[in-house]
Amino acid sequence: MAIGDIIVGIDIGTSKVCTVVGEVNNFGQVEIICNTSYKCNGLKKGKIINEEEICLCIAKTIKNAEEETNLKINSSYVTIQGKYVTIVQNSITKEVKDKYSGISIKDVQNAMLQVKDIEIPDEKTLIDIVPDKITLENGTVVKDPVGNLSSHFTISAQVILAEKEYVRQLNNIFKKVGLEIDGIVPIALAERNLVLDKNELHDNIMLLDIGAGNTEIGIFESSTFMYTNSIPVGGDNITNDIAFVLNISEEEADKLKRQYGLALKSFIDNDNDIILNTSKDDNKNRIIKSSELIEIIEARIEEIFSIVNKDITNQGVKQKINNVILTGQGIVNINKSDVAGKINLNIPVKISTGRLISTVKATYRTSYALVRYVAARPFAKTVSSDIDSQNSESFIKTIFERVKEFFYS
């Protein structure tokens, strides 16, 4: 990355589209200069069901971003769900062009091009290469080999493939909006450096992001991206269950979930009475016990963790996981969700305590994580989105205000 690079990141979620615009400052850090979101129902159970609605929502967030920053946005990075992603581990050994001058950036970039040369199934397409370990001829593992004297080096990387049909749909949507796609990044990969703390970055971790309608799974063996998937259940399913079982409105169900959110009935202190204000039963003043509500929440949370457990067991990756890190708006506000996770997964579970996660508005965390991931990509020739400055002087003046709006005061 280069100082002044401007990166645009878009996350298409099950409940909204979020766009974040960031700029690389003089310290190599990403400053968020704009963030916008718009409610969207074009994605359901992880599938694109309404391209036109997604187009409209992306266009609205881009329009708002352009008005706030006085920039013309021509391209963007975008997230992709784990269910459409396949990870292939590959490594190659590269001879150095001039061993007396040391390994050059061009040597590394050429190695990156070679490591992607794998057999790709017809229904899949390449979306990313993630360099993992670089080993010099003497066996030393280095993060950045450039400048080291070595006649050859070995690069291990994850070659990220995606379903060609889903990528085609994304390209079609962005084309209609008038945007080019700079790159497509799996959600779990983007979120890793935001959600995990320093110790967890070197551990064998399952990152579990439970959102409104989707749960993202990402498994990392230290720095190696091992596995990702997504399951089409999330926090909205808990709300829907409450509304259906108690025969009340979804609005009241969501309010009750937030007010009495508890993942395990065994942790109830006082089994209070709850008056249902929107009951559709004959008894308009229906009263239930809080234990009845929590029992509904507990059943759905147990199901989510059970589905995750079945998936990672079937994939043969469960035994690699030391700890589970839980994040996502669909679950973290429900008390004892980490305990419920540990019971169902039989693996230690904790709520994310990543240093940056508490400073970023929950709505924009995935988009922000995407921008940070792109900005930190090693050995990339360029990461900047295609941006036209409409009024650079006005743009500079707005940076501080946008940063204040993005971060909690």
Structure tokens at 43: 């994605």
Q: Dihedral of CA 303/305/311/316: which sign?
A: negative
Structure tokens at 283: 């008894």
- The whole-number pLDDT of residue 390 equals 57
- The whole-number pLDDT of residue 156 equals 94
3-class secondary structure for 352-390?
Answer: CCCCCHHHECHHHHHHHHHHHHHHCCCCCCCCCCCEEEC
- The whole-number pLDDT of residue 81 equals 96
**Ordered per-residue pLDDT tens for the chain, 409 residues:** 567 889 999 999 988 999 999 998 887 788 899 999 999 989 888 889 999 999 999 999 999 999 999 999 999 999 999 999 999 999 999 999 887 888 998 999 899 889 999 999 999 999 999 998 999 999 999 888 998 899 999 999 999 999 999 999 999 999 999 999 999 999 999 999 899 988 899 999 999 999 988 999 999 999 999 999 999 999 999 999 999 999 999 999 999 999 999 999 999 988 999 999 988 887 777 899 999 999 999 999 999 999 999 999 999 999 999 999 999 988 888 999 999 999 999 999 999 987 777 778 888 999 999 999 999 888 777 788 999 875 444 443 443 444 334 333 3
- The whole-number pLDDT of residue 333 equals 86
Q: How far is it, in rounded angstroms, from Cα 103 to Cα 152?
A: 8
Instruction: Print burial letters for 321-355: b (CB count within 10 Å at least 16), e (below 16).
Output: bebbbbbbbbbbebebbbebbbebbebebeebebe
Q: pTM of the predicted model, to two decimals?
A: 0.88
- The whole-number pLDDT of residue 2 equals 67
21, 35 Cβ separation under 8 angstroms: yes
